[in-house]
Amino acid sequence: NAGVTQTPKFQVLKTGQSMTLQCAQDMNHNSMYWYRQDPGMGLRLIYYSASEGTTDKGEVPNGYNVSRLNKREFSLRLESAAPSQTSVYFCASSETSVGETQYFGPGTRLLVL
Amino acid sequence: QKEVEQNSGPLSVPEGAIASLNCTYSDRGSQSFFWYRQYSGKSPELIMFIYSNGDKEDGRFTAQLNKASQYVSLLIRDSQPSDSATYLCAAPSGGSYIPTFGRGTSLIVHP
């Protein structure tokens, strides 16, 4: 039982490049989330998926897209990376989206030059 | 103004003391409150979860809710150097059922 896994662990991009961050959970959770964490800013919600087949914007969605591929997998795509997207990205999951504990993956450190 | 506020710290306490961490929230309708611990370079992990109907104790950790003043506290008794981490408070806010996170409070427990 691996919990929430994320790939890659670390990535360096040049401005304008694209990439997809992968996330998978094996806890049969319905809801999944993508956060970014910047120094002094705490965790900010980018997108979430309350259940398979649905996605919604969070606090900071601009410059990102998501896909809920199936119940296990939720990917985050940067179409044209910008230096402002340099951050640590965490994927999380919860049994449902209503007041439930979230379980976090190990994070992806992204540097955009 | 963020909907969940925390003092960024650092809060420094000696080993064996009680560490008291506070978090204020703006949504009076919030029903559930979470405390996560995050070690440097690691992901957040849940340490306490309380509903609006009462306080909760779990080992050395106690979470207390003051609904009138809209703040939730985390008390860590007999603090250990291994408790040194950033503590994140989270609560649903702004009509959303998804918790909003505070910026976190850095706790340092020195021997």
Inter-chain contact A42–B43, Cβ cutoff 8 Å?
no
pLDDT category at B45 given cuts 50, 70, 90 is very high
Tokens 């996605």 correspond to A55
Q: Which of A3-12, A94-103, B61-70 has the highest mean pLDDT?
A: A3-12
- Chain-centroid distance, C-alpha B62: 10
pLDDT at B32 over 90: no
Tell me what the mean pLDDT of segment A68-93 comes to. 97
Instruction: Report pLDDT for A42.
Output: 86
pLDDT at B1 over 60: no
3 state DSSP class of B36: strand
pLDDT at A111 over 90: yes
Q: Which pair of structure tokens corresponds to residue A73?
A: 């997998």
Q: Cβ contacts of residue A55 below 8 Å, gap of 6+?
A: A47, A48, A49, A66, A67, A68
The minimum CA-CA distance between B4 and chain A, rounded to whole Å, is 10
Inter-chain contact A106–B104, Cβ cutoff 8 Å?
no
The minimum CA-CA distance between A64 and chain B, rounded to whole Å, is 19
The minimum CA-CA distance between A40 and chain B, rounded to whole Å, is 6
Residue type, A23: C
pLDDT at A80 over 60: yes
pLDDT category at A104 given cuts 50, 70, 90 is very high
Tell me what the mean pLDDT of segment A64-91 comes to. 97
Q: Cβ contacts of residue B31 below 8 Å, gap of 6+?
A: A99, B51, B52, B92
The minimum CA-CA distance between B32 and chain A, rounded to whole Å, is 6
Q: What is the pLDDT of residues B59-96, one digit of tens each?
A: 999 999 998 899 999 999 999 999 999 999 999 877 77
Check if B77 contacts A (Cβ < 8 Å). Answer: no
Interface probe for B, chosen from A29, A32, A37 (most Cβ of B below 10 Å), is: A37
CA distance B17 to B83: 12
Check if B18 contacts A (Cβ < 8 Å). Answer: no
Cβ-nearest to B98 among A40, A45, A106: A45
CB pairs under 8 A between A and B: 44
Distances (CA, A) of A104 to A51, A60, A63, B1: 17, 18, 22, 26
Pairing of strands A4-7, B99-101: unpaired
pLDDT category at B2 given cuts 50, 70, 90 is low
CA distance B24 to B74: 12
Inter-chain contact B101–A99, Cβ cutoff 8 Å?
no
Contact B72, B66 (CB under 8 A): yes
Q: What is the pLDDT of residues A53-77, one digit of tens each?
A: 999 999 999 999 999 999 999 999 9
Neighbours of B51 (CB within 10 A): 11
pLDDT at A1 over 60: yes
Neighbours of A74 (CB within 10 A): 28
Instruction: Report pLDDT for A54.
Output: 93
Instruction: Report pLDDT for B29.
Output: 83
